[in-house]
Amino acid sequence: MNKNSNKNFIEQTIRVNHAGEFGAKRIYEGQIKYLKNDEDLETVKHMYNQELEHLDFFDKELINRDIRPTLLMPLWNKLGFALGAITAKMGSKSAMACTVAVEEVIEEHYQQQIEKLKKNPKEKVLLSKIKKFQQEEAEHKEIGIENDALESPGYTVLTTCIKKASKCAIWLSKRF
């Protein structure tokens, strides 16, 4: 990877991860507002707090490296909250199915970044953080499964739609 393509990759990585963590924050905020079960609410708040840590890291990276966030932040703000609110209103199993779908996409997305970052000795901190965040996203997916996500009405259709939307958001956030 030449110097310019590496710089572009790093900028794209930080921009898209910032957008994704912001979107996750908004999804959980929508779920927190509408979930009725206190036990489910505490579980979602645990995952939400980890997403805030991830977002904080990428917020700082944007500033420290002088990288602009995606131009689509206003859209991810509204759509993320709406996705969280809608799945929570469908019930806690659907909220958990949303988590499973999003985290499955993010886990794969982070793995692709990890493979590229392993080849860049200058980005050890970024690599380490993305590995840590990937483990936490995998934990969120497992929490969703443990909390009956697979029993959500229309699980396959719901998660397929959310995965496709998540992949689209990644593609768009890299570019805009």
pLDDT tens figures, 36-85: 876 788 899 999 999 999 999 999 999 999 999 999 999 999 999 999 99
Question: Looking at beta carbons, which pairs linking 46-49 to residues 24 or more positions away fall under 8 Å?
Answer: 46/143, 47/99, 47/140, 47/143
Asked if the model's pLDDT at residue 5 lies above 80, the reply is no
Residue 4 is predicted with a pLDDT of 65
Confidence at residue 37, expressed as pLDDT on a 0 to 100 scale: 76
Q: How far apart are CA 8 and CA 68, in angstroms?
A: 12
Residues 9-36 have pLDDT tens digits of 999 999 999 999 999 999 999 999 999 8
Q: 141 near 100, Cβ under 8 Å?
A: yes
Percentage with pLDDT > 70 across the chain: 97
Pick 1 or 127 by higher pLDDT.
Answer: 127
- Residues 24, 102: contact at Cβ < 8 Å? yes
> What percentage of the chain has pLDDT greater than the value 90?
88
- Per DSSP, the three-state class of 53 is helix
pLDDT over 60 at 137, yes or no: yes
Give mean pLDDT, residues 98-120. 95
Distance in angstroms (rounded) separating the CA atoms of residues 9 and 26: 25
Question: How high is the mean pLDDT of the chain?
Answer: 93
Q: Tokens representing 24?
A: 């996750």
Cα–Cα distance, 34 to 64 (Å, whole number): 36
Q: Is the pLDDT of residue 116 over 90?
A: yes
Q: Report, as an integer, the average pLDDT of 88-107.
A: 95
At residue 7 the predicted structure's pLDDT band, cuts being 50, 70 and 90, is: confident
What Rg do the C-alpha atoms of the chain give, in angstroms?
A: 16
Q: Which domains does the chain have, with CATH numbers?
A: 3-175 (1.20.1260)
Q: Which two tokens stand for residue 16?
A: 């898209």
Element housing 62 (H / E): helix 38-64
CB 154 within 8 A of CB 127: no
Q: Are 102 and 168 in contact (CB under 8 A)?
A: no
Q: Are 56 and 23 in contact (CB under 8 A)?
A: no
Q: How far apart, in whole angstroms, are the C-alpha atoms of residue 30 and residue 171?
A: 23
